[in-house]
């Protein structure tokens, strides 16, 4: 038997967060979910922070070179300027967005949009990064992906910075960062301080 929703025309939206350290496959998983939405013929929009130009200025690109076109955004408010037909919104590198991103995602979900966000959960210091802790708190679905520690082979949860400097945002790749497990991450920081 089919049950009618409580409110006619009610649409269901939600927030999904994909998080983890660098090289854990966050963007790869985001692209996989967005491609499935495309196969289902759902209208979607993809956003990335304007400052992230590592691989491409107008695409999200995973380390395995999978890519999808995206809109570079200066501020999270840009996400609200959607075609009303959009059912799915993808956001990559969410940690680089402003602190309004969680409220924007919340608003989109309340409008019936499926919002899929990917980003680093911690910065190189092991501290929750940008708007990510707030997104993790309000999301209906959270997926934590892991890389492999380059030192011991255990699951990596931390992004270890290989170069000196204390600026939190340092766009980089394997020359600047490597994935490490908790123990190898802390051991590296202890050795660095000596």
Q: List active site positions.
A: 93
- In the structure encoding, which two tokens stand for residue 107, read together? 């608003």
H or E stretch at 132: helix 132-138
CB atoms within 10 A of CB 81: 9
- Cα–chain center distance at 111: 21
The residue to which tokens 């491609």 are assigned: 35
Whether the Cβ atoms of residue 178 and residue 185 lie closer than 8 Å to each other: no
Task: List 130's β-bridge partners, or say none.
Answer: none
């Amino acid at each position: 038997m089919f049950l009618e929703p409580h409110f006619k025309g009610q649409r269901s939206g939600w927030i999904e967060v994909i998080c983890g350290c660098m090289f854990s496959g966050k963007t790869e998983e985001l692209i996989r979910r967005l491609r499935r939405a495309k196969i289902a013929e759902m209208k979607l929009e993809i956003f990335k922070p304007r400052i992230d130009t590592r691989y491409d200025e107008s695409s999200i690109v995973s380390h395995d070179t999978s890519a999808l076109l995206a809109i570079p955004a200066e501020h999270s408010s840009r996400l609200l300027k959607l075609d009303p037909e959009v059912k799915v919104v993808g956001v990559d590198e969410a940690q680089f967005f402003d602190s309004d991103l969680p409220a924007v995602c919340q608003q989109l979900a309340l409008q019936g949009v499926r919002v899929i966000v990917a980003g680093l959960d911690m910065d190189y210091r092991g501290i929750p990064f940008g708007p990510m802790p707030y997104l993790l708190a309000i999301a209906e679905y959270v997926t934590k992906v892991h890389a492999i520690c380059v030192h011991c082979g255990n699951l990596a949860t931390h992004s270890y910075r290989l170069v000196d400097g204390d600026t939190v945002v340092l766009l980089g790749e394997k020359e600047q960062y490597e994935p490490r497990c908790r123990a190898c991450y802390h051991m590296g920081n202890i050795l660095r301080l000596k």
